[in-house]
């Protein structure tokens, strides 16, 4: 990842902070990637272009907060998006929404129809949308605990690896406040990343969560001929103008 930092950063800012596979290719049209290849940045005339399915692609994107909307309204709402020129849907996949109890995952709506991520992915594909998927672990959506599960934040061994000022009191967890490191990662991402990397429980559970999400999302990846063109790791990482993204930051994003 380190060798592609400028392109990754550019795409992060221009394409909803998405983390994608980055590749420089020739300007020769004969050498451009065929349809069905992953989204990528292509250098054309000395400037980067975002390509999807081997063609230049301009994202007209909109967030779709499916977890706040009745399941039977998803279709009509997405059709309205399409009528207004939206071609890309931005999806937060919220950890504590899909795993409210440890090990009790719901991606098909069996506990609540609004958890039917599998159905939503298929619906978006059928309507011709590209997708940007953002599985956190932290999400900025005015959502309880920023998407982190209560059951994880309450584990004593989770807090044990944090500095005292970085820990969440039980009251903050019960009130649904954002974890303190989520605010730090916006302005001092290097310091926040170092704290995450010192926390083996955070790394263990976050990797598992990513794996669980990818089991659902993988069939829809652009590399498999489908419509997920962007994946974002975490949220609001290092966006403050005064922030410095150092080696710990990039190590954490390689999670």
Kindly write down the DSSP assignment for every residue of 161-203, as one continuous string: TS-GGGPPPHHHHHHTPPPHHHHHHHH-HHHHHHHHHT-HHHH
What token pair was written down for 114? 């609004």
DSSP secondary structure code for residue 85 in this structure: T
Answer whether 0.75 is exceeded by the pTM.
yes
How far is C-alpha 84 from the chain's CA centre?
24
| pLDDT value, residue 27 | 38
DSSP secondary structure code for residue 26 in this structure: -
Tens-level pLDDT at each residue, the chain (255 residues):
444 454 444 444 344 333 333 333 333 444 444 445 678 899 999 999 999 988 899 999 999 999 999 999 999 999 999 999 999 999 999 999 999 999 999 999 999 999 999 999 999 999 999 999 999 999 988 899 999 999 999 999 998 888 888 888 888 888 889 988 888 888 888 999 999 999 999 999 999 999 999 999 999 999 899 999 999 988 877 778 888 888 998 898 887
| pLDDT value, residue 180 | 87
The CATH-assigned architecture of domain 59-253 is: Alpha-Beta Barrel (3.20)
The span from the CA of 151 to the CA of 99, in Å, is 10
Distances from the Cα of 194 to the Cα of 92, 104, 165, 199, angstroms = 25, 30, 15, 9
């Amino acid at each position: 990842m380190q060798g592609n930092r400028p392109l990754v950063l550019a795409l992060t800012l221009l394409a909803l902070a998405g983390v994608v596979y980055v590749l420089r290719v020739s300007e020769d049209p004969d050498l451009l990637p065929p349809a069905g290849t992953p989204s990528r940045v292509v250098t054309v005339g000395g400037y980067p272009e975002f390509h999807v399915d081997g063609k230049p692609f301009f994202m007209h994107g909109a967030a779709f907060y499916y977890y706040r909307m009745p399941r039977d309204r998803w279709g009509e709402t997405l059709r309205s998006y399409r009528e207004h020129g939206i071609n890309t849907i931005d999806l937060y996949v919220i950890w504590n929404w899909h795993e409210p109890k440890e090990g009790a995952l719901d991606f098909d709506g069996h506990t609540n129809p609004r958890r039917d991520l599998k159905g939503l992915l298929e619906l978006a594909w059928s309507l011709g949308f590209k997708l940007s998927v953002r599985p956190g672990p932290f999400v900025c959506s005015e959502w309880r605990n920023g998407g982190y599960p209560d059951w994880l934040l309450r584990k004593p061994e989770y807090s044990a690896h944090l500095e005292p000022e970085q820990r969440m009191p039980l009251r903050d967890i019960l009130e649904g406040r954002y974890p303190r490191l989520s605010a730090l990662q916006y302005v001092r991402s290097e310091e926040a990343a170092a704290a995450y990397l010192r926390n083996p429980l955070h790394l263990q559970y976050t990797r598992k969560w990513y794996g669980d999400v990818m089991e659902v999302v993988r069939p829809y990846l652009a590399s498999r001929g489908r419509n997920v063109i962007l994946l974002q790791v975490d949220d609001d990482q290092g966006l403050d103008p005064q922030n410095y993204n150092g080696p710990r930051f990039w190590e954490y994003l390689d999670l």
